[in-house]
Amino acid sequence: MSLDTSKIADTNRGTPATAKKPNKAGAVAGWADDRLSLGTLTKAFARKVFPDHWSFMLGEIALWSFVVLLLTGVFLTFWFVPSMSESTYQGSYTQLRGVQMSDAYASTLHISFDVRGGLLVRQMHHWAAMLFIAAMFVHMMRTFVTGAFRKPRELNWIVGSLLLLLGILEGFAGYSLPDDLLSGTGMRIADGLIKATPVVGTYMSFFLFGGEFPGDVIIPRLYILHVLLIPGLLLALIGAHMLLLVFHKHTQWPGPGRTEKNVVGYPMLPVYAAKAGGFFFMVFGVTALMGALLSINPIWKYGPYDPSKVTAGSQPDWYMGIAEGLLRIMPNWETHIWGITISWNVMIPGQILPFVLFGMIIGWPFLEAWVTGDKREHHLLQRPRNAPTRTAFLAAMVTVYGLLWAAGGNDILATHFHWSLNSITYFMRAAVFILPAIVFYITRRWCIGLQRADNDRLLHGYETGIIMRSPEGAYSERHLPISEERAYTLTARQRDEVHELHPAVDENGVAAPGSRSDQIRARLSQAMFGDNVQKPTAQELEEARHHAEHTHELEAGLAHPASGHEFDDHNLRDAEDVPLRSH
């Protein structure tokens, strides 16, 4: 089905429309459309409306840095040799000439020093990888803190979490490929983590490395994971993520004209195609700038991997930093039983805790859904302050993450701030438990305080900053009502309902079914929502309106909210038109 738009009038002038000569592009499009029905396919997508907000573009950073990764990665595969066969280096980096090294390392040196633009592309690839995972984290935090994971988007939350996990795995595999001293040290830690599995750890390590570490198969194996398997999975999941996004429609902030049933924004074509396309070039530009100006992973300084060598400042890339931190602060616990050593000191921080922490974040939406029992669809976002417990939980998790990050870099902290390495370890051991609790409490109270401030704004108006002196000599700050739009936006949220506990036994003394989980649910509900400040009722708002009657009279003739200077002689003194505040 094709529609010949050339014959449709595009002016409202009196002269009749005349058919324009179809141009070449139109002819090609028409030819393709007749055979593939692209028109119907693209029409729905081209008219898809997306709302405008900066925080909705964070996921795009991840998407575009993934595209940069694909482009630069293909370039690197042309020269990279994923082999652990040894040869003597005779390339142009003289410091290593004559040194025995693996082909993987030698080819990375070749890319860095002998391939035109190779070092730039290698550095862009690495920076883009750091940004890819960082952007996923930021996007995930935005989704979490605004409640965008609620029904119907739970599945997309899971898909996103898988993307994050796979992204980290992909990054680690890529970090290990050049076979330099740092990546080999990283593989040694991975080997240690695997070996810490009780009973079967050694077998698993031998299967993975094809014998005793480091063996000679791990780099070809990681290479296939890095360039084929994981990117394939990532692409498929990104596709699913985007399809679900289009299918569910994008969430939006509440406001006048925005409901659970519509999306207010601009269509994909031409506005968002231009915006998103432009954003790709910005992301490409930033990675190119970083790749060109900032040195990353200078493998020529690390030298080829050799299990007998190590360097100070051996750290993983940032996204593995918390695993490193957990390992560094873990007390040295081991159990010897029936001739088997159980390395709690490696197993707990390496195999259990990272997944527990990740699981807590991934599981929260489902916990929240169970506690609220909310089965409604949500397309309007929540402001972080209107879900104080959730926001505080995220803040606490970010604190744990940050502390473990810092613990992973404890040697850098020690040298740069002149602290004792041991003191940092002791501090962190306690801080990872104490500080998140403090941060949780403060954030929660902060959110509730902001909710109160919102209610004050609704009921008493905003603070004008104008101090009035009454005839009696008392000073007071003049408050003025906020605009209708603002009031609508502030009140466009649902009231939280605290789950009431049903009696555990009915009047006949028979225990109600499921009362145990019901008790837990009621207790959690009270803890999560009991202290929240609810928006004022219609009656309260009406009373407040009566209260501010006088101001309303003053405002009656104005096209905008009163500035407050209606009450003083400011306008008399300053005849200049002072721009009004848009409260």
Integer-rounded Cα Rg, in Å, for the chain is: 31
CB of 95 to another protein, least distance (A): 5
Q: Measured between alpha carbons, how far is 346 from 403 in angstroms, rounded to an integer? A: 19
DSSP H helical segments within 409-482, as ranges?
410-417, 421-460
Q: Which of 206, 266, 370, 567 binds another protein (CB under 8 A)?
A: 266
**Residue 132 contacts residue 62 (beta carbons within 8 Å):** yes
Q: Measured between alpha carbons, how far is 500 from 521 in angstroms, rounded to an integer? A: 9
Query: What are the phi and psi torsion angles at 49 (to 5°)?
Result: -100, 135
Does the protein bind another protein through residue 279 (CB under 8 A)? yes
Which range of residues in 8-16, 308-316, 348-356, 434-442 is near another protein by CB under 8 A? Answer: 308-316
CB of 96 to another protein, least distance (A): 6
Number of residues that bind another protein (CB under 8 A): 79
Does the protein bind another protein through residue 283 (CB under 8 A)? yes
CB of 281 to another protein, least distance (A): 10
Interface residues for another protein in 420-479 (CB under 8 A)? Answer: 420-423
CB of 12 to another protein, least distance (A): 19
CB of 232 to another protein, least distance (A): 25
Tokens of 567: 């009450």
**Residue 215 contacts residue 205 (beta carbons within 8 Å):** no
Interface residues for another protein in 481-540 (CB under 8 A)? Answer: 485, 489
Could you check whether the bond before residue 388 is cis, i.e. omega within 30 degrees of 0? Answer: no
DSSP H helical segments within 114-229, as ranges?
118-145, 154-176, 181-195, 201-209, 218-224
Does the protein bind another protein through residue 282 (CB under 8 A)? yes
Q: Which of 412, 437, 511, 558 binds another protein (CB under 8 A)?
A: 412
Amino acid code (one letter) for 562 = A
Element (H, E) at 480: strand 475-480
Q: Which of 237, 255, 360, 492 binds another protein (CB under 8 A)?
A: 255
Which range of residues in 18-26, 223-231, 293-301, 436-444 is near another protein by CB under 8 A? Answer: 293-301
CB of 559 to another protein, least distance (A): 15
Residue closer to another protein, measured from CB, 127 or 440: 127
CB of 426 to another protein, least distance (A): 11
Q: Which long-range contacts (CB under 8 A, 24 or more apart) does 493-496 make?
A: 493/254, 493/380, 493/382, 493/383, 493/386, 493/535, 495/534, 495/535, 496/372, 496/529, 496/532, 496/534
CB of 408 to another protein, least distance (A): 8
Q: Measured between alpha carbons, how far is 552 from 463 in angstroms, rounded to an integer? A: 16
CA dihedral 177, 182, 184, 187 (to 10 degrees): -90
CB of 126 to another protein, least distance (A): 8
Does the protein bind another protein through residue 123 (CB under 8 A)? yes
Q: Which of 248, 249, 275, 523 binds another protein (CB under 8 A)?
A: 275
Residue closer to another protein, measured from CB, 258 or 444: 258
Tokens of 328: 């560094």
Residue closer to another protein, measured from CB, 345 or 483: 483
Does the protein bind another protein through residue 414 (CB under 8 A)? yes
| CA distances, 350 to each of 75, 323, 324, 399, 418 (Å) | 34, 6, 8, 19, 28
CB of 292 to another protein, least distance (A): 6
Which residues lie closer than 8 Å to 257 by C-beta, 6 or more apart?
264
Does the protein bind another protein through residue 559 (CB under 8 A)? no
Interface residues for another protein in 42-61 (CB under 8 A)? Answer: 52-58, 60-61
Q: Which of 66, 144, 149, 302 binds another protein (CB under 8 A)?
A: 302
Which range of residues in 73-81, 111-119, 377-385, 503-511 is near another protein by CB under 8 A? Answer: 111-119
Q: Measured between alpha carbons, how far is 449 from 301 in angstroms, rounded to an integer? A: 52
Q: Measured between alpha carbons, how far is 410 from 389 in angstroms, rounded to an integer? A: 31
Does the protein bind another protein through residue 12 (CB under 8 A)? no
Residue closer to another protein, measured from CB, 82 or 184: 184
Q: Which of 171, 409, 536, 561 binds another protein (CB under 8 A)?
A: 409
Neighbours of 362 (CB within 10 A): 20
**3-class DSSP state of 52:** coil
Interface residues for another protein in 320-359 (CB under 8 A)? Answer: 321
Does the protein bind another protein through residue 249 (CB under 8 A)? no
| CA distances, 257 to each of 238, 250, 272 (Å) | 31, 16, 21
Residue closer to another protein, measured from CB, 227 or 299: 299
